Chain A
Amino acid sequence: MDILRFITAGSVDDGKSTLIGRLLYDSKSILTDQLEAIEKSSKTRGNGEIDLALLTDGLRAEREQGITIDVAYKYFATAKRKFIIADAPGHIQYTRNMITGASNVSLTIILIDARTGLVEQTKRHSIIASLLGIKHVLVAINKIDLVGYNEQVYHSIVSAYQQMADQLGIQSINYIPISALNGDNFIQSSPNTPWYQGKALLPFLEEVEIDDTINLTNGRFQVQYIIRPQTAELPDYRGYAGKIISGIYKKGQQVNILPSGASTTIRKIELAGEEVESAFAPQSVTLLLDTDIDISRGDSIIPADETPQISNEITVLLCWLDEKPLQPFNKYILQHNNKRVLASIKEILYKLDVNSLTEEPTATIQLNDVVKVKIKTAERLVFDSYKQLQGTGAAILIDETSNNTVAAIMIQ
């Protein structure tokens, strides 16, 4: 059975958590004791009606304030598909948590309150979805009950969103009018919106085709950990453990160790201790090589006929995630999968203005800014552009003093 990973995004109070609760409730996927617990909690909170947002708003502070602070993950399955859902917070302050959830999904549901239409956070989350290369966007125009199920309101939001999406270059979009509170267009088409011809939410999610195919063409592998048992039986065993990011690796294959450039042959491939003839993404394997070369964590083992980029200067799109702004003269640690190198920002090319979607000059980089910068690293990286190969085009920046993850990086 295939899996769809999706996130709900959009501005504060647009109904993201309620949507997930409603989807699980109406598809009878909430277990009885969990339902009882949220029923009880809804009562003590005095609103009488069951508050389905409580299914994912699990933290004390979230329940007290009626907002989402951090991403919650929910797992459910229908006869057709398995779903992993991330519920993102809408507050601008917690955008980094939305990015955390969005970095591992292939579909985003952007919620829009039918009464207000597009607001800044709608745009910000859409920009992030497009930067992260999320394959598909479903725009849910929510609280349609509060505008009398008005078709005109729906259409004007659709065209406003479409205009922005065209600017952002988001390719694959669908639109749906819903009421997360009442369940309109969740499991079946609602009689309240006879003018809507599309699928209801659950059938849509069950059937939407997402091109999630893993790249099996371009071999990419980074050494994660070196296994050396150093026992009497295996005194010289030296296995390079790691995840195949993309492509297929075969026994006997010619490979280069990058960035150093040494070449050798794969002598043996082990999968969980068993020898295999070949292995493929996204397996976690152990490669044994023909010659003894100096290889450390973070080095890449790449098929001889493959040519990833190698450089100590990269141009990247970057989302700043920390309260503390970028300190232009500080060094940061750049982590590119299993490789950590020192890095500094050499030049800020522009900042994306969230509202106008235009590129503006800027001298500073602050929380939630999306900027294009040039970065110089202390050692050469082996990478691809994020657009071509997400697995080798993504990286993070870590603040050397706080150890916090301060930026998400997509290499151009």
Chain B
Amino acid sequence: MQPYTLNYLQQLEAESIYILREVMAQFEKPALLFSGGKDSITLAYLAKKAFSPAKIPFPFVHIDTGHNFEEALAYRDLLAKEFGITLIVRKVEDTIKKRNLKEATGKFPSRNWLQTFTLLDTIEEFQFDACIGGARRDEEKARAKERVFSVRNDFGQWDPKLQRPELWNIYNGKIHKGENVRVFPISNWTELDVWSYLKAENIPLPSIYFAHEREVIHHQGQLLAVSPFITIDAGDIVEKKIIRYRTVGDMTCTAAVESNATTLDEVVNEIKLTRISERGETRIDDRVTEAAMEDRKKNGYF
């Protein structure tokens, strides 16, 4: 490579660090929404670089649905300790009780929708004015439309028809009291970029991202892990399969991928060849309606 040029991943990294620093400079109480998935792990490592040698200057918030993969929780706690981060955990379970919310029912009762209540309560509780999230534009068609600094109203709602212009890399995070901004520093990264970066930086991941044996059932062409959170019916065939996860979300709505990839190199190679999108392959909740993500965002979701 020529001197004084950045490769593509380095360019993305530089842009993301710029955005993270801009958050600290423009807001009083930012927080990073940490799910334990690869995108928020990438964000955590970018934040470490952005503020080094100081500690990451904002807390990590985990909105805990209670339907987690144990490995992701263990990873979360370890990372918080290692990075010296304040970890705030708020449980959807508690919000359900406090607000007397009705849980989803059915075979795969997802708390994805209820998560928003807990998130908005947490923002209110701590008066966060900016929440940093790991959403990427390549993930989903509504996300493809969202700004890097996405202004939300008093109710956390996104109005896709009234987004602020966002020019060059000049970010306008000015808001009125009560409003908040969702900031997406890895907006321009693709899934392959994230995997390639994790590999290039040698970043450790929760073990569920690599091939392992697990009991699963088939559901409309997808593989769902057997867990206490889903209902196994008489007709379900429980099988042991060698699988890995491409995303980490709730156990009730995250499907696994059959794979033998045990290293990041192998995962990157598989991702290069795949013909199915990340969400298409791994999420069962987005299949409900065409505009599921947009609707959730309009309600205050990430």
Question: Which residues of A come within 8 Å of B, CB atoms?
Answer: 1, 3, 31-34, 37, 41, 55-56, 58-61, 63, 69-75, 82, 84, 96-97, 99-100, 103-104, 216, 224-225, 227-231, 234, 237, 239, 241-243, 248, 270, 272-273, 280, 282-284, 286, 297, 321, 333, 335-338, 390-391, 394-396, 398, 403-405, 408
Contacts and interface: CB of A to CB of B under 8 A. Distances in A.
Contacts of B164: 404-405
B58 to A, nearest CB: 12
Given A282-B11, A335-B170, 8 more contacts: A33-B280, A82-B8, A224-B25, A241-B50, A243-B14, A284-B17, A338-B25, A405-B167
Contacts of B14: 243, 282-284
Contact of B144 (A1, A31, A72, A229): A72
Contacts of A228: 54
Given A41-B290, A59-B160, A337-B170, A97 B137 contact: no
A58 B142 contact: yes
Given A33-B281, A241-B21, A394 B167 contact: yes
Given A75-B190, A227-B54, A32 B276 contact: yes
A61 B160 contact: yes
A100 B15 CA distance: 17
A5 to B, nearest CB: 10
B96 to A, nearest CB: 28
Q: How extensive is the interface on chain B, given as a class?
A: 35 or more
Interface string B155-176: 0000011011111111010111
B277 A31 contact: yes
Given A225-B21, A229-B54, A404-B164, A73 B11 contact: no
B167 A99 contact: yes
A395 B165 CA distance: 12
Contacts of A394: 167-168, 170
A58 B141 contact: yes
A284 B18 contact: yes
A75 B8 contact: no
In order of increasing CB-CB distance, the 7 nearest A-B pairs are A58-B141, A273-B52, A33-B280, A272-B49, A229-B54, A284-B17, A403-B174
Contacts of B22: 224-225, 338
B277 A284 contact: no
A125 to B, nearest CB: 15
Contact of A84 (B168, B175, B188, B274): B188
A284 B21 contact: yes
Nearest to A40: B290
B246 to A, nearest CB: 13
B99 interface: no
A73 B175 CA distance: 25
Q: Is the interface of A mostly helix, strand, loop or mixed?
A: mixed
Contacts of A227: 51-54
A1 B7 CA distance: 8
B53 A73 contact: no
Contacts of B48: 273
B145 interface: yes
Contacts of A73: 137-138, 144, 187-188
Contacts of B17: 272, 284
B98 interface: no
A395 B144 contact: no
Contacts of B275: 31-32
Nearest to B189: A75
Most chain A beta carbons < 10 A, residue from B18, B22, B144:
B144
Most chain A beta carbons < 10 A, residue from B22, B140, B170, B294:
B170
B221 to A, nearest CB: 10
Contact of A59 (B13, B137, B280, B294): B294
Contact of A97 (B25, B55, B165): B165
Given A72-B145, A237-B53, A405 B280 contact: no
A96 B165 contact: yes
11 contacts: A60-B291, A227-B51, A227-B54, A234-B53, A234-B54, A273-B48, A282-B6, A284-B15, A394-B170, A398-B172, A403-B176
Contacts of A286: 52
B238 interface: no
B21 to A, nearest CB: 4
B288 to A, nearest CB: 13
B24 interface: yes
A405 B142 contact: no
